[in-house]
């Protein structure tokens, strides 16, 4: 039994994590048991998530399987984008410079700052009262 080539990548953004598997195929998508159109109804998020495939020029050449959890739709789309880019680099190291230039391999490090003791939010202090 021959093993089909498969490339993995883990993408993260905010609190979302995407475990991505790319296999040579006809471009079918499977995200948590749904197609990308079902999972991300907004066209903008679909475009954001699949941008690395477009830039690398391999749209429709890989089947995409991904497990997403945590965060909201935008964070998950960003995590998926990051995961796809990492998997593509594993598939073809030549693509690294192209994807790096577009910023797809950079983990967006912005996360919600934790709430501090004695404050309302991370930085919002209680109202000052003179008397």
Tokens of 25: 């195929």
Contacts of 101 (CB under 8 A, 6+ apart): none
Tokens of 65: 């399987």
Tens digit of each residue's pLDDT (9 = 90 or more) over 12-59: 999 999 999 999 999 999 999 999 999 999 999 999 999 999 999 999
Residue 68: the pLDDT is 96
Q: What percent of the chain has pLDDT over 70?
A: 98
Burial class (CB in 10 A: 0-12, 13-18, 19+), 119: exposed
Q: What is the CATH number of domain 7-102?
A: 3.30.230.10
| Beta bridge partners of residue 7, listed in sequence order | 22
**pTM score, whole prediction:** 0.90
Burial class (CB in 10 A: 0-12, 13-18, 19+), 122: exposed
The whole-angstrom separation of Cα 89 and Cα 7 is 9
């Amino acid at each position: 039994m021959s093993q089909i080539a498969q490339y993995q990548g883990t993408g993260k953004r905010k609190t979302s994590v995407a475990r991505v598997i790319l296999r040579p195929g006809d471009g079918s998508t499977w995200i948590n048991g749904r197609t990308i159109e079902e999972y991300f109804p907004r066209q903008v998020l679909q475009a954001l998530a699949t941008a690395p495939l477009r830039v690398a020029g391999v749209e429709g050449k890989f089947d995409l399987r991904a497990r997403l959890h945590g965060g909201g739709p935008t964070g998950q789309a960003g995590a998926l984008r990051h995961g796809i880019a990492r998997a593509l680099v594993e598939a073809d190291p030549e693509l690294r410079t192209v994807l790096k230039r577009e910023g797809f391999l950079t983990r967006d490090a912005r996360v919600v700052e934790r709430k501090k003791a004695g404050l309302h939010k991370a930085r919002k202090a209680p109202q000052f009262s003179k008397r």
